[in-house]
Structure 1
Amino acid sequence: METGTGRPRLLGDRYRLVSVKERDGRGVIWRAHDLRLRRDVAIKEIRPRFHADGAGLDDARRRAMREARSAGRLSHPAVVAVHDLLEEGGRLWIVMELVEALTLEETVGHLGHLPVHWTAWIGFRLLGGLRHAHGAGVLHRDINPGNILLTGERVVLSDFGIAALNGDPSTSSTVPVHCAPAYVAPERLRGRPANPAADLWSFGASLYFAVEGRPPYPGAHALEVLGQAMTRDPDPPVKAGPLGRVLRGLLRRAPEERITADHAARLLSKILRMEGVSVDPPGSRPRGSLPTRSPCSAV
């Protein structure tokens, strides 16, 4: 049986596609049901935009599948779990944990901006997942406010491995066309390979957006933003308070001058303690929910 758009209703003889949950520049996210384990899941349908052909395309697809499987081995509360990966009907399908949440982008859209203590808490939790991934040799490549999910008790980074599926992974310097330039590290825009420091830039740019209420490079058009991102430092933050030190350290244009994830975690932990928010030691599994002081009170 097929959906009204010609897609299979039953995927891999196991996953029943129920409804479209979301559409974005990277593909379609379906709400689905796993008939074998009797649980609801999210499935991302991707039509890869590889720039190779023939044998090159086959090699690119193999590399993409291998990278996505590596992401599937990650296990951390701050990372959306990947359950399965399939290739069917000329498309790639990633079966993931279903997380009911608002994105950071949606939350800031509702509130205008987030207070320092809440932004620091989000950053501290996200860093736990990012450090776990980097320790396993997995890069994200597309951290931005639309990929950061807030459930009330969890802060979750989604779409690990999907950036590689949208571009040609045969060259690690490729920036997928859907990536927002304001959240891509300057060295990647200049064609240098992705690495943990580039992920940290994107992480810092997302925190900048959270606390300032706007991206580090404003502009109505992608080309305008791209021009700024290629040539100058981000605008200095004005609402970040003690977070300013963290943002400046993460958003240094030279990757070798950027602060490390460990350094950023220590700074965020210190800010949270100053704000009276208890945190787990860096590197431990996070527990507890969002800070009790509502972010709405600061908006």
Structure 2
Amino acid sequence: MSEDLPRVLAGRYRLLSPLGEGGTSTVRRAWDESLDRAVAIRDVVPPAWMPAESRELWLRRIPLEMRPMTRVKSHSGIVAVHDVVEEDGLPWIVMDLVEGPSLARVIETEGRLDEVRVAEIGLQVITALAWMSETYGILHQDVRPSNILFEDGRVMLTGFWISAVVRGVIDCSFEHLTDVLPYLAPERILSQRPSTSADLWAMGVTLYEAVEGRRPFEEESTMGTLAAVVFRPPAPTRYADRLRPVIEGLLRKDPAERLTVAQATALLSQVATEAPLDGPSEVATGAPPDGPSQMTAETPPDRPSEAATEAPAGRPRRLRLGRPFSRGAGRRPGWP
């Protein structure tokens, strides 16, 4: 579309300025003239290589999957979706405007992070994932550092809507999943129906990347990365110490053996509080705990569902979540 801004969408959203751009969308700052507030608006443009039939199906599916997200109650750990409008033949997603950077941007600019801070981030993200799964039966299906945002000391998860985009790309070709593939669970690559265990796998990849400053599965070619995710163990950690049990537990190939929410949060809590780690127990064996936090339910069919740089081996930067991240040059909102 033309970038002759400003422009008003759906008679109420005035587009102001671009915030970021990805392979399938551009995020823009906008002003909601009906409610007198700033918002972020994301268009979703099908990739040029996608066959016409798939493009049409994709564009129809995104609004259908997104509208239930507008009815989700507010949660401090989730970027709210306020509206879905269609204009120029494209869906436009209206969301909270988050002014802080993404975890991907922080890793890129600051290097690997301290284990305690990574554990704090992991706890908040997994809590948000569990809440969405248990309350609404909604999976994320695209957990990765670029979808984890920071603002005013909060960790916020965005991108729940993107599952339709990811599935559309998977339906066409893995070759176009360059940014997403390193975070896809083996069962998703093998075309098995996803469950919340796949989101926990992606969280394991994210924790690894945050503490190591690199991804556990990343080869020179797409097919090499795909094979690594499905068949090979993750690259050995060099800096993970207390986080190693939870990372290894979340990156088990078999989803039935993967850590559950209760097990992962128990381990992360011990690291975040710098408490002594428990000895060998059911957490280490992957035995499921009692209670609803197992997050094993599959998504009902009618429900919606950045490259890091190698850090030096010096002391990692500790990022306190009790205050906002700095917003210097190059750290504008971490979209996409």
> What interval of TM-score do these two structures reach, taking the shorter chain for normalisation?
0.7 to 0.9
For residues 192 and 5 of structure 2, what CA distance do their matches in structure 1 show?
37
For residues 175 and 93 of structure 1, what CA distance do their matches in structure 2 show?
26
Tell me the CA shift for residue 8 of structure 1. 8.2
For residues 239 and 143 of structure 2, what CA distance do their matches in structure 1 show?
22
Q: Deviations over 1:7-52 (max 9, x none)?
A: 8811000000111111012310011000011111000000246767
For residues 220 and 111 of structure 2, what CA distance do their matches in structure 1 show?
18
Aligned residue for 1:37? 35
Alignment partner of 1:274: what SS?
A: coil
For residues 5 and 230 of structure 2, what CA distance do their matches in structure 1 show?
40
Equivalent pairs, count: 278
Q: Which amino acid aligns with 1:9?
A: R
When the two structures are superposed, what TM-score results if normalisation uses the length of structure 1? 0.83
Tell me the CA shift for residue 64 of structure 1. 3.0
Aligned residue for 2:321? 290
Q: Which amino acid aligns with 1:95?
A: V
For residues 189 and 235 of structure 2, what CA distance do their matches in structure 1 show?
18
Tell me the CA shift for residue 183 of structure 1. 0.9
For residues 154 and 45 of structure 1, what CA distance do their matches in structure 2 show?
25
Tell me the CA shift for residue 180 of structure 1. 2.3
Does residue 105 in structure 1 map to residue 104 in structure 2? yes
Moved more, 191-200 or 216-225: 216-225
For residues 198 and 186 of structure 1, what CA distance do their matches in structure 2 show?
8
Does residue 79 in structure 1 map to residue 84 in structure 2? no
Alignment partner of 1:33: what SS?
A: strand
Asked whether the equivalents of residues 201 and 251 of structure 2 are also in contact (C-alpha less than 8 Å), the reply is yes
Aligned residue for 2:95? 96
Q: 1:178 to 1:95 in 2, by over 3 A?
A: farther
Alignment partner of 1:106: what SS?
A: helix
Q: 1:175 to 1:130 in 2, by over 3 A?
A: farther
Q: Give the share of equivalent positions with the same residue, in percent.
A: 36
Alignment partner of 2:193: what SS?
A: coil
Q: 1:196 to 1:116 in 2, by over 3 A?
A: same
> 1:116-127 to 2 correspondence within 5 Å?
116-127=115-126
Q: Which amino acid aligns with 1:250?
A: L
Q: 1:10 aligns with which of 8, 11, 34?
A: 8
Tell me the CA shift for residue 229 of structure 1. 1.6
For residues 70 and 80 of structure 2, what CA distance do their matches in structure 1 show?
7
Q: 1:68 aligns with which of 66, 69, 78?
A: 66
Instruction: Give the number of the structure with larger relative contact order, counting CA–CA contacts within 8 Å between residues 6 or more apart.
Output: 2
Does residue 161 in structure 1 map to residue 155 in structure 2? no
Q: Which amino acid aligns with 1:290?
A: L
Tell me the CA shift for residue 61 of structure 1. 4.8
5+ residue gaps in structure 2? 277-292, 294-319, 326-336
Q: Which amino acid aligns with 2:113?
A: L
Alignment partner of 1:86: what SS?
A: strand
Alignment partner of 2:201: what SS?
A: helix
Q: Which amino acid aligns with 1:34?
A: D
For residues 130 and 46 of structure 2, what CA distance do their matches in structure 1 show?
27
Asked whether the equivalents of residues 68 and 162 of structure 1 are also in contact (C-alpha less than 8 Å), the reply is no
For residues 70 and 170 of structure 1, what CA distance do their matches in structure 2 show?
23
Q: 1:47 aligns with which of 45, 63, 80?
A: 45
